[in-house]
A = this chain, B = another copy of it.
Amino acid sequence: MIIVGELINSSRTAVKDAIERRDRAVIEKLAVDQQAAGADYIDVNAGVFGGEEAQHLKWLVETVQAVVGLPCCIDSPDPYAMEAALAVHRGTPLINSISLEKDRYEALLPLLAGSDFKVVALCMSDDGMPETAGQRLAVADKLIQGLTGSGVALANIHVDPLVQPVATNGAYGREFLAAIELIMAGFPGVHTMCGLSNISFGLPNRKLLNRTFVSMAVARGLDGAIVDPLDTRMIAAIRAAEAIIGQDAYCQAFIKAHRAGVLEAV
């Protein structure tokens, strides 16, 4: 399971303030803590800064990579900000994200073409948000054909089928889960990735819903998630799900996590 640590996001007030003040210590601590908790990528987002996004995103990448040896998940729909961040990034980043929306697709594809970058391919198009598993598969198919046709390896594509709130439509959870299975079965070697928390939008006990949902998604083939790695119960649910589904040979990682005290007590 690929864990993308989501905490360095400018939509969070403390992060926005730290970016504005160029307070390295705040960002460094978030990066180090997420690495220690098992993150594979550190998401960086400066989206709230509009026209100044590029300089802030670049500073985030530099600040994060000064203290952790991890690649970033560069989180921006803006190709100009993306290019600025890529110019200073070391290692192989995860670009978050391309979609089938025409402007975004055409702006980001040239950056990706023929590269070794990893990329989140969001199942969104100018036709709007997909509702059914079939609609998600159709968008994923076009994105995968476009990306691989431009020289992006299938193994570098992480399809995000787009989680929507079950409080809005009782079928949204099922359709998302079915989409994970269809995409993983339809394109052997591709990856899937998603933010989870939209599933519980508008409901109480969101963390309980989010980690219950991730267990279900792992059972259908999800192999990456954008989460708060400091949420120990979420990480415990992911480790438990991997063990149950046989993705953790002899449950060794689960037992190791237990011995390290990473899993919750009960």
Give the B-binding residues of A (Cβ under 8 A). Answer: 166-167, 170-174, 177, 199, 203-205, 207-209, 212-213, 215-216, 218-220, 233, 236-237, 240-241, 243-246, 248-251, 254-255, 258, 263-264, 266
User: Across the interface, do B208 and A246 meet the contact criterion of CB distance under 8 Å?
Assistant: no
* Chain A interface, DSSP helix/strand/loop, else mixed: helix
Query: Do A266 and B216 form a contact, CB below 8 Å, given A243-B203, A244-B173, A251-B166?
Result: no
Contact A208:B264 (CB < 8 A) given known A216-B215, A246-B173: yes
With beta carbons under 8 angstroms apart, the residue of B209, B244, B249, B255 that contacts A212 is B244
A214–B216 alpha-carbon span in the complex (Å): 9
Q: How far is the CA of A244 from the CA of B172 in the complex (A)?
A: 8
B residues in contact with A264, CB < 8 Å? 205, 208
Contact B209 A243 (CB under 8 A): yes
Are the CB atoms of A204 and B237 closer together than 8 Å?
no
Query: Roughly how many angstroms separate A69 CA and B106 CA in the complex, as a whole number?
Result: 65
Q: Complex Cα distance A22/B266, Å? A: 33
Sort A-B residue pairs by CB-CB distance and give the 8 closest, nearest first. A170-B246, A212-B240, A216-B219, A173-B244, A204-B258, A215-B215, A212-B215, A205-B263
